[in-house]
Structure 1
Amino acid sequence: MRLGVTTFATDLSMPVAELARAAEERGFASLYLPEHTHIPVSRRTPPPMGQDVLPEEYRRTLDPLVALSHAAAVTDRIALGTGILLAAQREPIVTAKAVATLDHLSGGRVVLGVGFGWNVEEAEDHCGPGGFRSRREIAREHVLAMKALWSREVAGFDGRHVTFEPSWSWPKPVSGPPVYLGGAAGPKLFAHIAEYADGWLPIGGGGIRAALPALRAACEKAGREMVRIIPFGTLPTKEKLDHYAGLGIEEVVLGLPGGQADQVLPVLDAYTAFLTS
């Protein structure tokens, strides 16, 4: 089983290039970074994990594509993932160019983890009033538009939320890149995955066994084979990883704390015990 890692990269945390190099040297397969463009101070939306106060890292998050370019420059093998990129909040033509450029320069190592977001105010600042309610459909069109630009010599798009005339856009990605959707199990998410994604990033990794029949059924309805599942932000135990392996899961992304190297590297070193388990 391959193991990757994810952490909140901020202006106060261990530099991403140093973390990427350390993870690759220790044998980890991937590094994923999250995204928040900003956090409105109104705080109308409660923290996503039930905290009383939103952790400071949410307000200080680095842009994941820029940060991963630093990781790409100092590594050779580790996959470079967004975990997750808020596709509804990004202009798709510019984002497609940035992702394709990163994939081209890194030799095809980009993995695009995409999510719909939890912060109402943040989504509305990007997408306008009602943007939070529409974010799934906006994200869908943004991803489909980006995939068209990546895969076709001449690509245009005519949707409700995205429209552009037939156009050239290079470089083309080396790897695709694969697109994985993050979120809780449910028919809406699984329908999106079956239509246009390559897999599911279940946050925390709970409830996968129970969700498998519904995800498999959604894939069958769409006329495609079962997609990959990568448990994301998991805190590992041998029993948990054995459970995932028994479900046929081939990669798990482990959660790292934020902070400087003296806080992060001891945890990363402890996780190496699971690389040979």
Structure 2
Amino acid sequence: MRIAVTAALTDETITPIGLAQELEERGFHGLYVPEHTHIPVERATPFPYADERGEVARWYGRLIDPFVALSQAAAVTSRLHLGIGVLLLAQHDPIVVAKQAASLDHVSGGRFTLGVGYGWNREEAADHGVAWSSRRELVLDRMRLMRALWADEPTEYKGVFGSVSASFAHPKPVRGGAPRTMLGGAAGPKLFSHIVEYGDGWLPLNGSGLRETLPVLRTAWEDAGRDPAALQVVPYAVTPTPERMDTFAELGIEEVVMLMPAEEGDGMLRALDGFARYLD
């Protein structure tokens, strides 16, 4: 089983370069980093991962831009896979993201994974002009536009939320069509329909409930005529235990992304020491 980690890299943690080099040297498969542009101080949105005081973790407002962090990591590694877990695509210009994603995939030699998500912070989204109730449809529209830019030939796209004329847009994703694209979010018909349309698979948070939800996704995938062997399900931000990892293996999971603590100094490296037991 391939073992990757997700780390909240900030201005107070180990650098992207330092962590990426440590991961590659220790034999880890990949590094995923989260994204938030900012966290408004005044908010009404309940924080879904609150500490005992109900407060947003400090690191949420201090994250390094994921494309910048992963570009640094790509430059000092040759095998480590690099992913965003997840990009809040509704909050971005899709033409710019298409260029950033294809460029990072190109300079890393095809090691990039674009994780796409919908977010939890209404105030953050509102500052970007996003209507909360339509954010899923907005993300779908933006992915369709981006895939038009990634197409081999200049391709026009006219969508509900955005359009692009047939354009020259290079570099292209290394594998053609799109970089590896994984969706985050809670299980449900809408999420699964979007995975089936444009994704390579799912990033289920902590991998909870997969015995019940994985068969549903597999059925939707196969009903759409997609190759059953191509579906990738990668439990994300997992706090590992031997029992949980055994369950993932039984379900045919081939990659797991473990959650690193957002700590200063050597805290992240100590976490890697603990994860090492799960490396093949």
TM-score, length basis structure 1: 0.96
What is aligned with 1:213? 215
Which residue, 254, 259, 262 being the options, matches 1:258?
262
In structure 1, what is the equivalent of residue 275 of structure 2? 271
- Cα pair 1:5 1:31 within 8 Å, conserved: yes
The residue identity in structure 2 corresponding to 1:275 is L
Letter in structure 2 aligned against 1:162? G
Aligned to 1:27: 27
Task: Give the match's secondary structure for 2:266.
Answer: helix
Contact 2:50 2:57 in 1 (8 A): no
Q: 1:134-173 alignment to 2 at 5 Å?
A: 134-173=134-173
CA distance in 2, matches of 1:260, 1:107: 31
Q: Equivalent residues in 2 for 1:40-55 (5 A)?
A: 40-51=40-51, 52-55=54-57
Q: Structure 2, unaligned stretches of length 5 or more?
A: none
The within-5 A match list for 1:105-144 is: 105-128=107-130, 131-144=131-144
Q: Which runs of 4+ in 1 moved over 6 A?
A: none
Deviations 1:39-78 (A, max 9, x none): 1121211112143011111111111011100000100001
Unpaired segments ≥5 residues, structure 1: none
1:169-207 CA distance string (max 9 Å, x none): 011121331110001111111111111111000011100
CA shift digits 1:202-250 (9 cap, x unpaired): 0111001110221122113322134210000001112211110111110
Read off the aligned partner of 1:163 and give its amino acid letter.
Answer: S
TM-score, normalization by structure 2: 0.95
Residues 88, 127 of structure 1: 8 Å contact kept: no
2:165 match: secondary structure: strand
- Equivalent residue pairs, number: 274
Instruction: Supply the AA of the counterpart residue of 1:38.
Output: H
Aligned equivalents of 1:212, 1:164: Cα separation in 2: 35
Structure 2 equivalent of residue 17 of structure 1: 17
Q: Secondary structure at the match of 1:166?
A: coil
- The 2-side partners of 1:144 and 1:81 are apart by 20
* CA distance in structure 1 between the aligned counterparts of 2:206 and 2:22, rounded to whole angstroms: 23
Question: Could you tell me how far 1:268 is from its partner in structure 2?
Answer: 0.5
Q: Which residue of 2 aligns with 1:225?
A: 227
Distance 1:66 1:48 in 2: 27
Identity rate, percent: 51
CA distance in 1, matches of 2:243, 2:275: 14
Indicate the residue corresponding to 1:75 in structure 2: 77
Q: Which residue of the partner structure matches residue 243 of structure 1? A: 247
2: CA distance between counterparts of 1:110 and 1:207?
A: 27
**By how many angstroms is 1:152 displaced?**
2.6
Paired with 2:193 and 2:102, the residues of 1 have a C-alpha distance of 26
Q: Is the 8 A contact 2:35 2:65 kept in 1?
A: yes
- Picking from 197, 218, 224, the partner of 1:195 is 197
Deviates further, 92-101 or 258-267:
258-267
Say what the alpha-carbon RMSD is for the aligned residues: 1.2
AA of the residue aligned to 2:118: F
Take 1:251 and 1:54, find their aligned partners in 2: how far apart are those partners?
Answer: 29
Q: Distance in 2 between the 1:49 and 1:225 partners?
A: 35
Deviation per residue, 1:62-97 (Å, 9 max, x gap)? 110111000001000011100001111110111111
8 Å CA contact 2:239, 2:258 repeated in 1: yes
